[in-house]
Amino acid sequence: MIMWSRDKILNFVFSFGAMLVGVVALFVGSISFEFKTNPQFLSLPQSQVAQAQVGGDITPAILPKARPTVPLAKDNSFYNATTSAVSALVVDDNSDTILFEKNKNEVRPLASITKLMSVLVLLDLPMNLSSTTVVLAEDVDSSSHHINAGEKYKLSDLFNIALVGSSNSAINVLVRASGYTMDEFVNLMNVKAKKLNLNSAQFVDPTGLDNRNMARTEDVARLLKIALQQEKITTALQTPEYYGNPIGQKPRRVWSTDWLLTHWIPSDFKKVQIAGKTGYIAESDYNFVVRLTDEQGHAIRVVVLGAASNETRFTEARDLAKWTFEHYLWPDEAGYDALSD
């Protein structure tokens, strides 16, 4: 008969106890892991989790029904009005959903819509817009009559004249004041276009006079959206009448080239609901991109490229916007849920 000493008995008890504790811990851990990872228990209210832990029945959680967050067409109607524009587009400003399109993939000359990219690049640079500069003869474009050689301006004044009056001369002065050569500045424009994923956009000069400044309607719409994120740009594009201030001379009135904003083309949109940019050269015909907002705060961007006349670019943009607001519902409007079912 084997006789165990007191020490051996105690060692055996402690060893067996430690092993038993380990087995129990593994068992409890496996149960906890299964509970946590079993999809049946995921996203349940705490009351149901507690019920599950004590072996009660589980009522599956009722998930909310998914619904779209984009404008939906009220009916199957099509825009039947004649559009002289070569390309046109209407997109929801919030979701970028296309609501109307005509030849949206055609790459078209931008003309002075180019200036939106030019001023975006200017705002990226460490320029002091409160500083002043003198207009040089080489800055002045013969088709732009808002500023003259020898006049002195604040750069902020030239910034507004460039957008409100679409002044080529003002853009030329600002580019020179940036410290970059024309070629270097244009390169910055193209680099920024790539960063912004404006894949069809290409730029050759900052004014838009060169017909090789080009893009598709979708990229034009996106360029406006990005530009309107800058308060200085939005303020200028919502100014129907501006007074330039050549230092030491009388203020000079500059009308906006956006005739919806000046109400020279009648519409139901108020000034605060309109923010757009025009463009024209012979090769592009008449261009216009604009953000329009209805009384409920729903915003769309309308692009018209290659319209037949100065007036029709505005009337066609206005009519496209009116048709869109009449034939689409937004998520916060009555009747939307029925369309989304």
User: End-to-end alpha-carbon separation of the chain, Å?
Assistant: 85
% pLDDT > 70, the chain: 80
For 290-314, what is each residue's pLDDT tens digit?
A: 999 999 999 999 999 999 999 999 9
As given in the structure block, the two tokens for residue 139 are 């800055």
Q: Which residues contact 252 (CB under 8 A, 6 or more apart)?
A: 146, 243, 244, 245, 246
Question: Which CATH class, in words, describes the domain spanning 72-340?
Answer: alpha beta
Query: DSSP strand E in 214-309: where?
Result: 214-215, 241-244, 252-255, 274-281, 285-293, 299-307
pTM given for the model: 0.81
For 84-95, what is each residue's pLDDT tens digit?
A: 999 999 999 999
pLDDT at 63: 58
- Which helix (H) or strand (E) covers residue 35, if one does? helix 6-37
Q: Which residues contact 318 (CB under 8 A, 6 or more apart)?
A: 260, 265, 267, 269
SS3 at position 242: strand
Distance CA 178, CA 127 (A): 7
Cα-based distances in Å from 155 to 64, 85, 181: 54, 35, 17
Taking all residues of the chain, what is their mean pLDDT, rounded to a whole number? 86
Domain ranges within the chain, ordered by starting residue? 6-53, 72-340
For 223-248, what is each residue's pLDDT tens digit?
A: 999 999 999 999 999 999 999 999 99
Contact indicator for 305, 220 with CB cutoff of 8 Å: yes
pLDDT at 159: 98
State the virtual CA torsion across 89, 91, 96, 101 in degrees, nearest 10.
-40
SS3 at position 215: strand
Q: Which residues of 197-216 are buried (b: 16+ CB within 10 A; e: fewer)?
A: ebebbbbbbbbbbbeebbbb
pLDDT at 17: 52
**What's the whole-number mean pLDDT along residues 277-298?**
98
